[in-house]
Amino acid sequence: MKATYVLWLRQLKRYTRTRWRMLGSLGQPILFLLALGFGFGPIYAKAGGGDYLQFLAPGVIAMTVLFTATFSAMEIIWDRQIGFLKETLVAPVSRFEIILGKILGGSTVAIFQGLLVFAVCFIAGFRPTSLIMLPVALLFLFLIGFFFTALGSAIASHMEDMQAFPIILNFFIMPLFFLSGALYPLDGLPKALDIVARFNPLSYGVDGLRGALTGASHFGIGLDLGVLLILSLILAFIGSYLFSRIQL
């Protein structure tokens, strides 16, 4: 598993060297916190929903992990263009180890970014209800990052155009985010939206993270964890298979 470790470490080094990208990626979560958390918060409270910031913060943290994880897979396309991917693939290691290292690296980067947004949410006034559940919240951050890094890697494995990659990803990611319950409760949804939410893997990630941080869960933390874990493993094998079929 040496190749997995090397690629994981390479992802972390890239992350620490791109400080401006790290800071720039905080813009969207902060905008959601300000525009929705404080702007929509009074309306949410008057409707009897309580503190909207407490509800919104886990969704914003999950959103950060989601986008960081999926777009980290763009490095596969970049490595192909500069020739690094070819050097990696001809090495005497399995392609499963290579893609696993990239997925773990992207997941770790996504967790770091999620923790930064968690700190921003804490400064804004968000408070987790139980410190004992913080490790569970960290586990959900990892699973969200792992799943969507694997998804991004599966897509990037058969793409060569870096400009088209974000467009394709947004086509998949934006509906998943807005229909995950990150911005609004899943209770009392119309039947059609409820069915979509139940088939949305991000719904279980957001719900599990919200349950761990605030104690409020729609599906139940056990179900969230089981579904996300199974889907992450399945998508990791799919991503590994597609990556193994890369033609250089």
Integer CA distances (angstroms), 55 to 49, 103, 128, 134, 157, in order = 9, 29, 11, 16, 36
Q: Where are the domains of the chain?
A: 2-244
pLDDT digits (tens, 9 = 90+) for 54-102: 888 899 999 999 988 888 777 777 777 766 666 666 666 677 777 787 8
Q: Which residue has the higher pLDDT, 29 or 206?
A: 206
pLDDT computed for residue 7 by the predictor: 62
Rounded to an integer, what distance in angstroms lies between the CA atom of residue 161 and that of residue 180? 29
pLDDT digits (tens, 9 = 90+) for 127-148: 899 889 999 999 999 999 999 9
pLDDT computed for residue 91 by the predictor: 65
pLDDT computed for residue 201 by the predictor: 92
**Residue in 125, 93, 139 with CA at minimum distance from that of residue 1:** 93
pLDDT computed for residue 103 by the predictor: 85
Range 198-224 average pLDDT? 92
pLDDT computed for residue 209 by the predictor: 94
**Amino acid, single-letter form, for residue 48:** G
**Residue in 94, 83, 200 with CA at minimum distance from that of residue 151:** 200
**Residue in 17, 4, 202, 19 with CA at minimum distance from that of residue 105:** 4
pLDDT digits (tens, 9 = 90+) for 152-210: 888 887 777 777 777 887 888 888 988 898 888 888 888 888 898 899 999 999 999 99
pLDDT computed for residue 13 by the predictor: 62
For the chain, what is the mean pLDDT? 81
> Is the CB of residue 181 less than 8 Å from the CB of residue 205?
no
